[in-house]
Amino acid sequence: KKMGLLLIICLCAINSVKTHSVSKPNIILLMADDLGIGDLGCYGNRTLRTPNIDRLAEEGVTLTQHIAASPLCTPSRAAFLTGRYPVRSGMAAFSRVGVFLFSASSGGLPSEEITFSKLLKQKGYATALIGKWHLGMNCESSNDFCHHPHSHGFDYFYGLPVTNFRDCKPGQGSVFLKGVQKALVIPIQITGIALVSLVIVQYIGLLKVPFQALGCFLLIITISLVVLIFFFYHFRHLNCFLMRDYQIIQQPLSYENLTQRLTKEAMQFIGRNTDAPFLLVLSYLHVHTALYASENFRGKSKHGLYGDAVEEMDWSVGQVLDVLDKHNLSDKTLVYFTSDQGAHVEEISSAGEVHGGYNGIYKGGKSMNWEGGIRVPGLLRWPGVVQAGAYIDEPTSNMDIFPTIVKLADAQLPSDRIIDGHDLLPLLQGKVTRSKHEFLFHYCNAYLNAVRWHPGNSESVWKVFFFTPNFSPEGSNGCYDSHVCFCHGGFITRHDPPLLFDLSRDPEEKVPLTPETESHFYEILRVVHQAVDNHTRSLHAVPNQLSWDNLLWKPWLQLCCSSLFQSCYCDHESGGSPLEVHLG
């Protein structure tokens, strides 16, 4: 009897330890920007050196069909934080522009949205976001910070409020200039013709135009042009700056040792929170253009500046893993690595150097719902809890991180809204072999572009396209003439019947199936259309955060550490101590 009692006590103790080990771990979420799935050694790259990211794969799980909820930065990150399709929160655009471009826009992730950082903070987690935000800043004044990371559950913020543009780095060109020139040609022509016509009819006496009206018209045109020229001349100062919490600490942003600074902040945050659970989102600027790399990495890779940036990011991941080892936190920490979407294949520098990444065998890239735009790295490591060295080829989503870590923190999922993600832990631990995602809906901005269907009784992964982007030049792998692909009008081709692929047999999406080559063609389309109907009925009208009104630059929302007349300049970073980590 004593032996039996002792055995029961031992089993209870072991079970208690195991239960504790999967409850309230530290969470580190590492997100690259525009990284291609083919850029990493663990996904088949043999020329770029990514030993630290590969270490996550060796010691954890590699998701080989991990899908971004959107192929663009802003909506993908909104979905990641909320576990919901971005169209549900108004973070998907109906216009051509699908991301925030200016720090003084009024749109952003609505305060009504519940992020995983809010829920983890309520459970006693220390929370920090370091790096890129890109989900809005202010609503009505330059200091209401309604969309700031602090308003979404992060205790600490060190990073960029918008994103890393070519325009942020002198000599790297502009993502706006070509578009602005195209947009202004017709209005300037119309204005010129109108002015000349007014002068002619005034001169020949057909119409008497009051000089005051003509003067007002000219004044409005002049003021508009002055504001436009001022804005784009000072774009770098107005939109490319570094913040710590609510304070601007460097305006404009300096790229000198920038990754080292972000890494140091991450390491210091971990060091401050060794005795309590923490959530760290380290959102890299790499490898979005403008590309940059510090002196220790510049010129060291086999793929130019892009490769240098990838290898510098890998170094940073290694520093984070090392500091976990130093504080004996590795076994208590879930680490996740991903990219917000696929590589931007159209990124070519003015000198002709490829500045976009490699999406492996997959078609297309950023801004597209071809697999190259949405199939992203998905690596999860948690020693002793998650399988080591395992590969999972089931459809998963970056929205799945929300319910996974909320459950691990012993928090409750919101019951007043639909959460589109699913808890990954049973899959990661090998307790189940099938993903809960029977359907995944792929949006191009706010337009439903494609649907993925993984039937429970089949190995097939069907993908149905309702429209596809028109590549330019024709026959290429992207929209090089417009820099990104767009989602409507003359930029797309609609398909009736829709295009059908089986990704289990054709992951490169090379040959669409037909009724002749797939006997269940119409049955598959019928099921997918029914799923679309059900999904559409679950959507509710919400304010559009990416409307033109919310996207436009509003001077009264502009953050400035000095004044507009002083070109918004300050630098509280350069005098700081250098990074105290070894560059290996």
DSSP class of residue 342 equals -
Q: Measuring CA to CA, which residue among 126, 122, 124, 113 is closest to residue 152?
A: 113
Compute the distance between CA of residue 190 and CA of residue 194 in angstroms, rounded to an integer.
6
Q: Tokens representing 323?
A: 């500091």
Query: With 70 as the cut, is the pLDDT of residue 564 above it?
Result: no
> In degrees rounded to 5, what are phi and psi of residue 313?
-65, -40
369-408 residue pLDDT tens: 999 999 999 999 999 999 999 999 999 999 999 999 999 9
Most distant CA pair in the chain, distance:
117
Provide the annotated active-site residues: 73, 134
Residue 497, H or E segment: strand 492-502
Pairing mode of beta strands 333-339, 378-381: antiparallel
Compute the distance between CA of residue 153 and CA of residue 155 in angstroms, rounded to an integer.
6
DSSP class of residue 479 equals B
Query: With 50 as the cut, is the pLDDT of residue 441 above it?
Result: yes
Q: Measuring CA to CA, which residue among 380, 425, 386 is closest to residue 406?
A: 425
Strand, helix or coil for residue 444: strand
11-66 residue pLDDT tens: 443 443 343 357 899 999 999 999 999 999 999 999 999 999 999 999 999 999 99
Compute the distance between CA of residue 66 and CA of residue 218 in angstroms, rounded to an integer.
55
Compute the distance between CA of residue 560 and CA of residue 240 in angstroms, rounded to an integer.
11
Helix 304-326 to helix 51-59 angle (10° resolution) is: 50
Query: With 60 as the cut, is the pLDDT of residue 575 above it?
Result: no
| Proportion of the chain above pLDDT 90, given as a percent | 80
Q: Give the residue-averaged pLDDT of 78-97.
A: 97
Q: Give the residue-averaged pLDDT of 270-296.
A: 97
| CB atoms near residue 416 (< 10 Å) | 5
Q: Give the residue-averaged pLDDT of 102-131.
A: 98
Residue 63 bridge partners (DSSP): 378, 392
Compute the distance between CA of residue 240 and CA of residue 400 in angstroms, rounded to an integer.
31
Would you state the pLDDT for residue 180? Answer: 59
Query: With 70 as the cut, is the pLDDT of residue 343 above it?
Result: yes
Higher-pLDDT residue of 257 and 173 is: 257
495: left (phi over 0), alpha (psi -120 to 50) or beta: beta
96-115 residue pLDDT tens: 999 999 999 999 999 999 99
Task: Write out 338-385 in H/E/C secondary structure.
Answer: EECCCCCCCCECCCCCECCCCCCCCCCCCCCCCHHHHECCEEEECCCC
Q: Give the residue-averaged pLDDT of 198-217.
A: 72
Q: Give the residue-averaged pLDDT of 492-510.
A: 98
234-258 residue pLDDT tens: 889 999 999 999 999 999 999 999 9
| CATH pick for 26-164+240-435+542-557 out of 3.30.470.20, 1.10.490.10, 3.40.720.10, 1.10.3720.10 | 3.40.720.10
Question: Do the Cβ atoms of 473 and 481 come closer than 8 Å?
Answer: yes
Query: With 70 as the cut, is the pLDDT of residue 5 above it?
Result: no
Q: Where are the domains positioned within the chain?
A: 26-164+240-435+542-557, 176-234
Query: With 70 as the cut, is the pLDDT of residue 546 above it?
Result: yes
Compute the distance between CA of residue 230 and CA of residue 499 in angstroms, rounded to an integer.
47
Q: Give the residue-averaged pLDDT of 139-158.
A: 98
| CATH pick for 176-234 out of 1.20.1540, 1.10.3470, 2.60.120, 1.10.287 | 1.10.287
Query: With 60 as the cut, is the pLDDT of residue 510 above it?
Result: yes
Q: Give the residue-averaged pLDDT of 427-438.
A: 97
Residue 351 burial class via C-beta count within 10 angstroms: exposed 0-12, middle 13-18, buried 19 and up: exposed
Question: Do the Cβ atoms of 278 and 127 come closer than 8 Å?
Answer: yes
Q: Measuring CA to CA, which residue among 174, 172, 151, 175 is closest to residue 161?
A: 151
Higher-pLDDT residue of 215 and 417 is: 417
Confidence of residue 183 (pLDDT cuts 50, 70, 90): low
Strand, helix or coil for residue 334: strand
Identical fold, 26-164+240-435+542-557 and 176-234:
no
Q: Tokens representing 66?
A: 């991990």
Cα 544 to Cα 363, 486, 487, 491: the distances in Å are 30, 18, 17, 22
Q: Assign 3-state DSSP to the chain and report helix, strand, coil percentages, each to 5.
A: 35, 15, 50
